[in-house]
């Protein structure tokens, strides 16, 4: 197995960050707020699926590490 080239690391990092954004968006659910309607309370709120939220954070951090590694090599 060969090591990844700088270009491959860059694009893999971009792909990881883009995938993390997609996973993060898919982890959001609209939830109806229980109780009677009133002007001071929202009708809906957001909830996140924790495993998908954790996965998206890990993917985004890994992508950032790959991008930082590529840009560090340029200096």
d(CA 17, CA 7): 16
Confidence band for 73, pLDDT divided at 50, 70 and 90 = low
Q: What is the pLDDT of residues 57-68, one digit of tens each?
A: 999 999 999 888
pTM: 0.76
User: How many separate domains does the chain show?
Assistant: 1
Q: Kindly state whether residue 57 falls inside one of the protein's structural domains.
A: yes
Residues 19/59, Cβ–Cβ less than 8 Å: yes
21 within some domain: no
Interatomic CA distance for residues 60 and 25, integer angstroms = 13
Nearest-10 crossing angle of helices 50-74, 6-26: 160
Does some domain include residue 55?
Answer: yes
In a domain, 30, yes or no: no
- Identify whether 32 is part of a domain: no
75 within some domain: yes
| Domain containing residue 50 | 42-75
For residue 71, being part of any structural domain is answered with: yes
């Amino acid at each position: 197995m060969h090591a990844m080239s700088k270009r491959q690391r860059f694009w893999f990092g971009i792909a990881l960050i883009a995938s993390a954004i997609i996973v993060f968006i898919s982890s959001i659910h609209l939830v109806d707020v229980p109780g009677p309607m009133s002007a001071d309370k929202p009708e809906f709120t957001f909830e996140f699926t924790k495993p998908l939220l954790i996965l998206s954070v890990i993917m985004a951090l890994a992508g950032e590490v790959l991008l930082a590694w590529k840009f560090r090599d340029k200096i």
